[in-house]
Structure 1
Amino acid sequence: MKLKLENDLGRIEISRKAIADIAADTAMQCYGLVGMAHQRGTDGLIELLTRERSSKGVSVVIDDDGKLIIDLYVIVEQVIKISVVAENIISAVKYQVERQTSMKVKRVTVNVVSVRA
């Protein structure tokens, strides 16, 4: 399903993959993040994704109000406080997705699936 924005000049369609790419690229720039993990990492099998595949660690859902709900699956550094890294990721992802798509983000959830040294 594509996200559609309309105005007087026409219509813009944005794929969930495009939003996931924005979220993943933004998260990867945050201090304390080792990388993105595949969503299925919650079953005990952790896969560190390459930068090209990092959007596989992001889930994008549109709620009934047309706002975005973004879930990220990440691997963080062991020496950094997890809550600080997560808060930084949430803030950066929300800002960049809203800035680049003009869509409102209702919630960003950071799922820490592993901690690495």
Structure 2
Amino acid sequence: MKIKNNLGYIDITRKAIADIAGNAAMDCYGLVGMAHKRGKDGLIEILSGDQANKGVGVIIEDDRLIIDLYVIVEYAIKISVVAENIISNVKYRVEKETSLKVKRISVNVVSVRV
């Protein structure tokens, strides 16, 4: 996505946005890790660190972002509270660091780990 200002252009890639969103989600309490967007054969791999962006989908629609997160949450913690925290943290960090507006964030809980 290109942003024009008085000094020129800033080009922000989907991968950069996914990195920011993945790292923001990983900072949330109750999250074990991220999962691949497309699990193969029902196997779920926990992604963390540099691979966290593989559990994030980014779509740009009308100069606004739609972010899909695929997460693995911790057992015995209310999933809705974890999801609300993830949405809040990701929205704040992405908008602050890129100055792009977020239209929607979807949290897809792929698994619960004990």
TM-score range, shorter chain: over 0.9
CA contact under 8 A between 1:41 and 1:113: conserved in structure 2? no
In the superposition, the TM-score normalised over structure 1's length comes to 0.94
Which of 107, 110, 114 lines up with 1:110 in the alignment?
107
1:39 is paired with a residue whose SS is: coil
- The residue type paired with residue 22 of structure 1 is I
* 1:41 CA displacement: 2.5
Unaligned runs of 5+ in 2: none
Counterparts of 1:85-100 in structure 2 under 5 Å?
Answer: 85-100=82-97
Superposition RMSD on alpha carbons, in Å?
A: 1.1
Which runs of no fewer than 5 residues in structure 1 stay unpaired? none
Whether the aligned pair in 2 keeps the contact of 1:42 and 1:113 (CA below 8 Å) is no
Normalising by structure 2, we get a TM-score of 0.96
Give the equivalent residue in structure 2 for 1:72: 69
Give 1:44 shift: 2.1
Q: How many pairs are equivalent?
A: 114
Letter in 2 for 1:68: L
Measure the CA separation in 1 of the matches of 2:39 and 2:28. 20
